[in-house]
Chain A
């Protein structure tokens, strides 16, 4: 057996050696060597002073750091189509003006950003300007990314140039008709709404009571671009606040994106995160679930691509920063459980339509108490998402269901089935109204017209498979090959597995593969 074991060992050793050499060659270019970082946080280079080794180690550390920054900035969520090569673009944004496709940001020289200099790369990220001078659509959250440090962007550039596989996939032309396709108004938009790099830097460097809060503010306001969804946008689609300094509308809940309404992340006790502890938030960002709720819709994607890979310290910093945002609406009372609904459900007998529908469709997992069986099945009682002033998310999830993907720390996927085929608009309205009123919840009623409106905007059944994993869950070994894009082998292709070379992950066994998918039709 020793031969067998040795063979494997030598194979992976030679592979590491080869990729290590290749990397050292790439990195021995003057530009890159000169730009070696000064011990960025999270990339401790140790005391190795041997030139060759240190070049390679530093460069690898830089790529590892860049990979981490890419996760913190959640690049993959928009630039990767689930089941396709990482960062090759083509992800569709259905906007009122037409369809926008994300760009290929792999280092492919023809289709991607392989020819971009670091300065061009940084300008695109911070200012939303392409090397050819054209303006990017503000779907790219450059007003937030403007706050990112030179150090992080330097590492990010190294990662995209040397840690990502080039993919020769042409960018799909946007489906936006003329005259809306003209980009010059975007330039005006940028002048009006996006902070200048100087202004952003100044704001980012404001003082905080603790370094932890400063770090949390940086991650949330900068790379994390939480406000892109969780802050309301103005008439010109600009975020009405970009930082905690800009007032109580910051992260006070956004308008629906893809039919999901992002809730407030402020201290509002019912509709925000007032009842959540730092530990609750950290668990949520790490695993997509905790004892108070589960991620769904676009937040599942954000956890899947981004937050699950952040360190405990960074997640705690984000949590503490969010917990320091005072409630936007001072009038909200703390949620308190009211046992009336539970009593009615348990007593049976004469039930309202909503109560009856709840028992028949929801109570198996969410229980007659509304407490669920967290973290597997989230509570509905006291859940801020349920009490959101806008019922869209709740209607949406009842109609289509949702999959909570597995993460490194919580590998199980859980899927709530959709009830859109089973329940009429009036039935969905009745059960959602019941849930919004039961157990001490106090949100507004929902009408069948609300349900019909949302149902019309949901397109049936595009196949869902796992979003790819952009970064290596484990710290990359120096000299190891960049992670192959995640393969979707759900079609049972006979993909050869080749010894110890990473063969990519499988899609979650528990993702919906054929159920209606909550993609939105353009109105």
Chain B
């Protein structure tokens, strides 16, 4: 193992997913020399999305081709502080990506803007329900940035992603059949919405009949061929269903690889290094200034890359891990509720319900895309929480993503045997005539849910693993059960033959063995108070002002929507302020302490 120091560059970006690619593109446009470091290997549609061989469920969704290898580095998990955490060695509950494109290559493409009230949830809850409404132990916080401020960046991200959707209002004027709860927009979606698949069509009608307000889910799956502002081109989605866990062979699902890299690579001041696992951010003797990063290459060499600006844009928990390993900011201490790095770690509160239609209705579950039909009547604060006594909400949707053979065979039918001809019959019936409705809910932050460094377990790089302490809490369990109880009205209108309502059970702890979602959030959150946030409203470290930390780690609590739209908007927001303010200043904090 050799040690080597490379010549300095202006900016080092850690991670090549959406956040890293956006930041690198913006920094290159600003004329800075940029090195992007990606722990995984290079990926491309030509190789990883070759048709038809890439449509391989065993390789993609069972053997996790695009995901992180937990033998190299993983997290340890426990439910409570009094337990001993053990390593997460088999990917299941959440699937962090590895390789160029990161999670942006294996995601599905659901692309939302954040509800305005979610961005200032603490203030909003206090204004509407009073301070006492916030339960003891909940660290409810504002983002420190408003929807109005972020709107131009949501708009920019949608144009880069080639997002398909239907607006409700544009510049205050009603334009279409979009989500009536959606905030106003400065421009329409760049592409019209994807067509409703049959099950989504059924859901739309039933939801309308039940008195709710269905809308086409915004999806970064191009509904037509598209050329984005960077000149990058997309093909159209053909509803093959190989979105999540796969590279899209149609070049139709937005990814950093399809939508940004082609333009980014043409900048002469840009360098991408894959198989470069960043070990820590280096600080000078004051501890207030980053001098670069050290990473391990594929041969095991430790390479120091000096840089004037360090942007952490790895996956949510890797960003938090790097901050803890590097001593950027004060580690969170749940006992005293002090320190910020590791604080407000959240997840997403998702449960799935299944309905069985009569045998005359074929649900064609093999079809799939990131589109679908949703209702927001129970999301965010779109309904009165006063009598309900919980905070948060959940959209309900049919987001049919394509049921593949192995998943189809594994789908269970309540009450059916687990083997034999009766199982076969039930499996066929379920595959042909059922479909799933998801409730993807918010998850609030709690004082005793957090990230820190594990005292026992080490990664293959010899560093302490990150430890997750996570469990479901009463507020979130009650929220989920309330929203699912409302689903019955829709199921009735559907004319379904049978329904299984998936909901959170009180007392049942968080279980890493079942896939839930990869929408992990928080741990190094943004905000206006350095006592409760690791980052200021521009995603700049309060403690080391030439470090910016971009990703879902910045969300103070988990929202009902998918995080990528907000991650992308926050990246453009942060980059805008680096370009227009920080680069012109003295390298200090953008928000005075």
B-binding residues in A (CB < 8 A) = 1-5, 8, 361, 364-365, 373-377, 403, 406, 408-415, 417, 422, 473, 489-490, 492, 494-500, 502-506, 508-515
Contacts and interface: CB of A to CB of B under 8 A. Distances in A.
Given A1-B587, A2-B586, A376-B235, A494 B52 contact: no
5 contacts: A373-B235, A410-B233, A495-B273, A503-B268, A506-B270
B297 A494 contact: yes
Given A417-B46, A422-B52, 11 more contacts: A3-B586, A8-B33, A364-B240, A373-B225, A376-B235, A412-B262, A498-B9, A500-B10, A509-B265, A511-B46, A513-B46
B236 A503 contact: no
B47 interface: yes
A498 B7 contact: yes
Interface in B1-36: 4, 6-10, 31-35
Interface in B219-233: 224-225, 227, 230-233
Contact of A403 (B9, B43, B46): B46
Counting chain A CB atoms within 10 Å of each CB, which of B42, B43, B236, B298 scores highest? B42
A503 B268 CA distance: 6
Q: Is the interface of B mostly helix, strand, loop or mixed?
A: loop
Interface of B: 4, 6-10, 31-35, 41-47, 50-53, 100, 224-225, 227, 230-236, 238, 240, 249-251, 257-258, 261-263, 265-266, 268-276, 297-298, 301, 303, 308-309, 582-588
Contacts of B266: 406, 408, 411, 473, 505
B584 A1 contact: yes
B586 A515 contact: no
A511 B44 contact: yes
A2 to B, nearest CB: 6
B46 A512 contact: yes
A509 B44 contact: yes
Contact of B225 (A375, A473, A508): A375
A503 B272 contact: no
Contacts of A495: 271, 273
A492 B271 contact: no
Contacts of A503: 33, 268-271
Given A411-B262, A497-B7, A499-B33, A373 B236 contact: yes
Which 10 pairs between the two chains have the least Cβ-Cβ distance?
A415-B46, A411-B262, A1-B587, A502-B268, A376-B235, A497-B271, A496-B6, A412-B233, A417-B50, A509-B44
Given A409-B231, A500-B31, A509 B42 contact: yes
Contacts of B587: 1, 3-4
A514 B9 contact: no
A258 to B, nearest CB: 20
Contacts of B46: 403, 413, 415, 417, 510-513, 515
B261 A509 contact: yes
Given A411-B230, A497-B9, A509-B100, A492 B32 contact: no
Nearest to B584: A1
A412 B8 contact: no
Counting chain B CB atoms within 10 Å of each CB, which of A3, A414, A497, A514 scores highest? A497
A121 B584 CA distance: 50
B269 A500 contact: yes
A494 B2 CA distance: 13
Contacts of B584: 1-2, 5
Contact of B265 (A1, A374, A505): A505
Contacts of A490: 42
Contact of A506 (B43, B230, B269, B272): B272
Given A509-B44, A510-B46, A511-B44, A376 B233 contact: yes
B271 A406 contact: no
Contacts of A415: 44-46, 50
A377 B235 contact: yes
A381 B583 CA distance: 53
Contact of B235 (A2, A365, A411, A515): A365
Counting chain A CB atoms within 10 Å of each CB, which of B41, B53, B100, B225 scores highest? B225
A500 B265 CA distance: 15
A517 to B, nearest CB: 12
Contacts of B263: 411
B275 A492 contact: yes
A1 B586 contact: yes
Counting chain B CB atoms within 10 Å of each CB, which of A376, A498, A500, A509 scores highest? A509
A411 B260 CA distance: 10
B521 to A, nearest CB: 29
A414 B232 CA distance: 11
A495 B276 CA distance: 12
Contacts of A512: 46-47
Contacts of B236: 373, 376
A357 to B, nearest CB: 12
B44 A500 contact: no
Nearest to A414: B251
Contacts of B586: 1-3
Nearest to B34: A497
Contacts of B35: 497
Counting chain B CB atoms within 10 Å of each CB, which of A5, A375, A410 scores highest? A5
Contacts of A8: 10, 31-33
A494 B4 contact: yes
Nearest to A8: B10
Contacts of B303: 494
A461 B255 CA distance: 28
A238 B47 CA distance: 40
A291 B45 CA distance: 22
Contact of A4 (B47, B235, B238, B308): B308
A497 B45 contact: no
Given A414-B251, A506-B272, A499 B583 contact: no
Given A2-B585, A499-B8, A376 B251 contact: yes
A184 B73 CA distance: 66
Nearest to B269: A500
A365 B250 contact: yes
A270 to B, nearest CB: 25
A15 to B, nearest CB: 13
A496 B250 contact: no
A491 B67 CA distance: 21
B262 A509 contact: yes
A504 B269 CA distance: 8
A502 to B, nearest CB: 4
A497 B34 CA distance: 8
B111 to A, nearest CB: 20
A5 B31 CA distance: 10
A301 to B, nearest CB: 17
Contacts of A3: 586-587
Nearest to B228: A412
A412 B271 contact: no
A400 to B, nearest CB: 12
A374 B225 contact: yes
A160 B276 CA distance: 37
A8 B32 CA distance: 8
Counting chain A CB atoms within 10 Å of each CB, which of B10, B53, B234 scores highest? B10
Nearest to B581: A1
A455 B216 CA distance: 48
B330 to A, nearest CB: 25
Contacts of B268: 502-505
Nearest to A473: B266
Contact of A411 (B45, B100, B232): B232
Contact of A510 (B33, B224, B262): B262
Counting chain A CB atoms within 10 Å of each CB, which of B33, B34, B224, B308 scores highest? B33
Contacts of B31: 8, 500
A413 B232 CA distance: 9
A492 B50 CA distance: 22
Contacts of B230: 411
Contact of A375 (B44, B232, B233, B265): B233
Contacts of A5: 583-584
A502 B34 CA distance: 11
Contacts of A489: 271-273
